[in-house]
Structure formats: structure tokens, C-alpha cells
Amino acid sequence: MYGLATLITEKLANNTWEDVVTEKILRPLGMHDTTFGTRSGENVENIARSYVEQEKRRLVQVPSSFKRKWANLGASGSIQTSANDISKWMRFLLNGNTSLLCNIFKVRNYAIQTKNRFHRPEMPVEYTNDQYAFGWNKGHYRGYPIIVHTGTSWGDASVLLLFPEEKLAVFVVFTGSDTKHLKRILLAQYVADLYLGFEPWINATSIKDFVVPKHKSKCPKPPTRRSTIGLFPRNFPECRKTVTKPSNISSLPSNFSNYDGIYNNILWGNISVTYNTESQGLFLTYGFATFQLLPRSRTLRAFAAKGIGEMCFMRLSSVNFGYTRNQGITSMTIPSFERSSPPTFLKIS
């Protein structure tokens, strides 16, 4: 959605998205410390480093080269800003009758999310955000109308919480993972309680009773047998320079080359799969990302995937191949791309 919005903006303005945002928003608001992931230098010292948590709570830095490539895919996750500049943006959003948000939630502009609308509360105070419009969610916190937007990129998590009637805005951002947005929401609520005059419900006692659901990866533990073959660039020392050999499965079948080929989805594009005879590894390449496929079953139809090179921080828990007796491998489905509607790629060569 955001990538499409970026493209439409550039077509209408006949200019780059970065230049349009700079001219129409950043410069008028005096946000001179704000830049874009597509334009920031690799060795800039005043940019926070991004980290993801892997097995055994091991932190791995997300390479800046990957961040720039990811930013090129669309507007989402491309802005790099400072606390002072984000405060200027929040004041603009709350600026009375001229507010950008003053009419955004008219009935014709928002939709009520009906899926899982009724559920067990995750916190002991009122918090809802079930109305959606143009990238913003509307709801209530402690009876106050709120407007919320969360942002998640690889190794970064943020939330912007607005109280339009109180002229209050809270912005929280940190590096690391926050799968269900709960950590950032709790921090924003704590700050909001202080400014609204409430005793924060999160304290040293209640935090012990409030268990944030921990994301459990479905990716199996990597096999212990490893073989170094030098596939990793030297400028990523945080990545282990190893490729995992499949274990607990005697050997990959002699017809493993049946997996080789190009797989196509009309919306998602092409994925290539190759088999490396030296490492006995199967590799998946999608755009600038390359993963090693690790068998999850003895049928060798279900795989997990771990990134290599600058993608070493990334994992895919489910990559499934379709098979027929007459044709062999015919397709590949990747639930890790889209859980609600997993895309299927048909083998075309």
C-alpha cells in the first residue's frame, strides 16, 4: 500500500517522493534534521543502529546497506528523523482547525475493522483502535479519543499516539523487536498517564503480573552440523560465516535439482531456487535477498529459511513446495510472506 502511494505521488508531482516530502512538509515545518533512508550515508554517526533478536536472545545488527535497499522499496520505513523534528510534526498534526487529521475520520473516510473485533482485553485500562482511515487508527484510551499509528521496520519499532482534544502527542521509538506492538504501546500509555494526571497503571508491581506475549518462532532449531564455505562478505562480522548442512536427514535426494528453477507469482514477481553441490545446500533468491533453505520434514517439501550475507538477521519459518508424481516440484508457497493469504509461486522454468 505504501509503495503504491509512493509511486502515485511521484507520478502526480513528476518528482521523486523524497523531494516532494521535503518541499511540501519538511522544509515548511523546519524539520532540517530529517532525511531519508535512501539518501543517508553508510557511516553517519548520529543514526541509531537497528538490531533484531535471534535464537537464544542473540542480538544481530541490521546492516545499513540492507536498510537503504529496503527504503528504496517504498515510503514505509524510509524517514530518519530526530526527537526535535518529530515534535514539530506532532504539533502540526494537532494544530486546531487546520489539523491534517481534523476531517480524516468522517464516516465516509474510515472503516471499522470487524475481524476479531471482540476479544479479551490485553491490559486493565480501556484501549481501543478499531477504526481505520488512510494509515491512521482511531479509538479511545481511558475515555479520551485517540489517533494512533505504529511503524515497524527490520530492527526498529515506533508508535505515534495523539490525543487531539487534549493537544497531546506521544512518540516512542526503539531498536529491537516488538511483534504485537505491546511494548511500544505500554511505554506510550505510561507517558500519556503522566501528562494526563493519572497514576500510571504500569509500575514496578503491575509489570510483574502483566506478561507481554512472547513471539515464538516456528522456525526449527538449526542443525548443529556446519560447514564453512565462505559465502558471507567480510563486512558482516556479526553473521556467522557458515552454511548449515542438513542433518537428521540422511542426504538430499539425487534428484534435488528438481527444485532448481524460476518460480513466478503475478503479484509478487519471480523467485529463483538453486542447489549448491559443494555445500549440499538449497538457496532461495528474491530480489536482493538470499536465503538458505533448511528442511523441516523428511518429505523435503516443507522448509525454513535463514538469510545469508547482509540478510543474516532474517528468518522465514515456512517455505513449502508443491509436488506431483508426474511433474515433480511444481510450485512454492511462502506463508512467511503473508500469513492470511500465503502467495503461491508457480515453477515456470
Residue 15 belongs to some domain of the structure? yes
- Identify the weakest region by mean pLDDT among 69-73, 96-100, 190-194, 307-311: 96-100
Domain boundary among 179, 196, 213: 196
Residue 59: give its domain's CATH number.
Answer: 3.40.710.10
Q: Which of 192, 188, 142 is nearest to 168 (CA)?
A: 192
Residue 148 belongs to some domain of the structure? yes
Higher pLDDT, 275 or 42: 275
Residues 269 and 188 in one domain: no
Q: Which of 207, 87, 181, 167 is nearest to 127 (CA)?
A: 181
Predicted pLDDT at 97: 56
Number of domains in the chain: 2
Residue 297: give its domain's CATH number.
Answer: 2.40.128
pLDDT, averaged across the chain? 79
Give the C-alpha separation, 63 to 42, whole Å: 9
Total length of the chain: 349
Residues 13 and 157 in one domain: yes
Domain span including residue 150 = 1-196
Domain boundary among 196, 227, 249: 196
Residues 267 and 132 in one domain: no
Predicted pLDDT at 35: 87
Residue 229 belongs to some domain of the structure? no
The reported pTM is 0.74
CA 5 to chain centre: 18
User: Are the CB atoms for 332 and 271 separated by under 8 Å?
Assistant: yes
Residue 107 corresponds to which cell in the numbers above?
A: 464516516
Cell numbers 511444481: residue: 330
Segment 202-230, tens digit of pLDDT: 887 777 666 555 544 444 444 444 433 33
Predicted pLDDT at 111: 60
Residues 142 and 265 in one domain: no
Residue 232 belongs to some domain of the structure? no
